[in-house]
Amino acid sequence: MEVFETACEYVVKGVASCLSCSRSSGHLEIRAASQVDLSSAVCLGLVEGVVGKVQLPSDVQWYLVVIRQKALVGTIPGGHKVYRISRVAVIPLSEVQPVDLEL
């Protein structure tokens, strides 16, 4: 999945859908990839998935937690792979320009 940044939102783009995250309110919305205009967006990099949105008790700001790296730990019956999260990135949901996220 790719992570894009615009002036008002972050967008995590999968094959068929996108997760839009408002930089001002933290509101999350899933939309079809065909409905999202990323022509003026900046690609920040690739991620393996999204953990969720968190807010620390001492902070009013929300953060989007994304999976930067995963490692295969095994398979379960049916051939389904099981992964562990190796690295995450924490993206502040604010209008301030983030530091390098190393995505």
Buried b (16+ CB within 10 A) or exposed e, 4-31: bbbeebbbbbeeeebbbbebeebebeee
* Residue-level pLDDT at 46: 95
From residue 12, alpha-carbon distances to 23, 30, 39, 58, 70 in Å are: 13, 10, 14, 27, 17
At residue 58, the pLDDT reads 79
pLDDT range class, residue 98, cuts 50, 70, 90: low
pTM: 0.83
Arithmetic mean of pLDDT, 13-30: 93
Question: Alpha-carbon distance 73 to 59, whole Å?
Answer: 35
- In this predicted model, what pLDDT tens digit does every residue of 43-88 receive, in sequence order? 999 999 999 999 888 777 889 999 999 999 999 999 999 999 999 9
Residues of the chain above pLDDT 90, percent = 70
Note the pLDDT of residue 99. 65
**3-state class of 33 per DSSP?**
helix
Euclidean distance between CA atoms 27 and 25, whole angstroms: 5
101 vs 24 pLDDT, higher one? 24
Share of the chain above pLDDT 70, in %: 95
Distance in angstroms (rounded) separating the CA atoms of residues 91 and 49: 13
